[in-house]
Amino acid sequence: MSAPEAPFGLLAELTYRCPLACAYCSNPLEMAAYNDELSTSDWQRVFAEAAELGVLQCHLSGGEPLLRRDLTDLVRTASELGMYTNLVTSAMGLSRSRATVLREAGLDHVQISVQADEPTTSDRIAGIPSFERKLEACRLVRELDWPLTVNVVIHRQNIDRIGAILALVEELQADRVELANTQYYGWAWKNRSALLPSKEQLDRSEEVVSAARERLAGRMEIVHVLPDYYSDYPKPCMGGWAARQLTVAPNGDALPCPAAQTLPLPRASVRDASVEEIWTSAPLFTAFRGTDWMQEPCRTCDRREVDFGGCRCQAFQLTGDATRTDPVCFKSPDHHLVEQAVDGANAPDRRVDLELVPRPHRA
């Protein structure tokens, strides 16, 4: 296999601590392994190595990155290295003074999560009263002339409000909104039966989003990520395994995608090796790069270089074998596992407001 192209983006998960308790959180279930967070100097070295490798975008995420006291220093470092910086935040803790300092340090973009369009639903999903503070933060971002993306994780308990959510985002004058249907990892996996929408809900939401795209064309970009479980083919995970992006977890683990810590492969850590060494030769990164690893039906499928067999983490989670075809694919011998979940979500007696198991607070 030829040497891989340089990654385009780095997702720097600075901490998994978070004041919210969202029941769809994709962060790991076992949090103790991530308590020993990388130091400021560690992260600055990682950013320098990533920039030298060719990374152009640095996404500062978590958990809640605002809980890192050194966030301003990290933003300044990434900015001075020439990377475009994006803060992915719940906005809890984004005060005017903190925002002003981050703006001066070179932060380019802010992405704020919102759970719903009104406080009762939003606060229930987030696990704490947070709705009004999020709206204040969005208005502050626009006042400071930052580009604003609003991210809304869509699921069974808010999908019927998608029209009102879009109206709220329009009112907040966001440049971009991501309506991302839940990916079933971490706490979302534990809550799948309460989160997976019905086909009827999904069809209605697509009609609403399509109409909004037409009405808001040229004013606001609408990204609508549909749930894998209702697709005939899987999505190309991260644009292909270890093809365009890498993630670094709070403890220094380097990952081809944010969920890859679940796979039974040797760990790779920026504490032990450079970003370039990990990207080019770590077994975790080379295991599913390209197509040589594929089994049938992927090996001879004409889509093998389109969706790359789908999500390795989802394949492992559903089948126990990371080399299997993603069960989302209708050609997969394990597709019945997805069909069973979909059948359950579409049962006539399935309630919309099933009880959620909240993620524990770790602020």
3-state secondary structure (DSSP) of residue 187: helix
Segment (H or E) for 52: helix 40-53
3-state secondary structure (DSSP) of residue 315: helix
Would the annotation count 18 as a binding residue?
yes
DSSP string, 99-148: HHHHHHHT--EEEEE---SSHHHHHHHHSSS-HHHHHHHHHHHHHTT--E
Would the annotation count 329 as a binding residue?
no
Interacting residues of 28 by C-beta distance below 8 A, sequence separation 6+: 16, 34, 186, 261, 262
In a 10 Å sphere around its CB, with 0-12 CB exposed, 13-18 middle and 19+ buried, how is residue 147 labelled? middle
Integer CA distances (angstroms), 198 to 157, 193, 347, in order:
11, 11, 8
What CA–CA distance (Å, rounded) separates 88 from 90?
Answer: 7
Interacting residues of 165 by C-beta distance below 8 A, sequence separation 6+: 114, 116, 117, 152, 158, 179
Q: How many CA atoms lie within 13 A of 215 on its CB side?
A: 10
Interacting residues of 69 by C-beta distance below 8 A, sequence separation 6+: none
Q: What are the structure tokens assigned to 182, written together? A: 């839940």
Would the annotation count 22 as a binding residue?
yes
| Helix 96-105 and helix 71-80, axial crossing angle in degrees, nearest 10 | 20
Q: How many CA atoms lie within 13 A of 250 on its CB side?
A: 21
Nearest to 302 by CA among 315, 313, 291: 291
Segment (H or E) for 84: strand 84-89
* 37, 39, 43, 45: CA torsion to nearest 10: -140
| Helix 199-216 and helix 162-171, axial crossing angle in degrees, nearest 10 | 30
Binding-site residue set for [4Fe-4S] cluster: 18, 22, 25
Binding-site residue set: 18, 22, 25
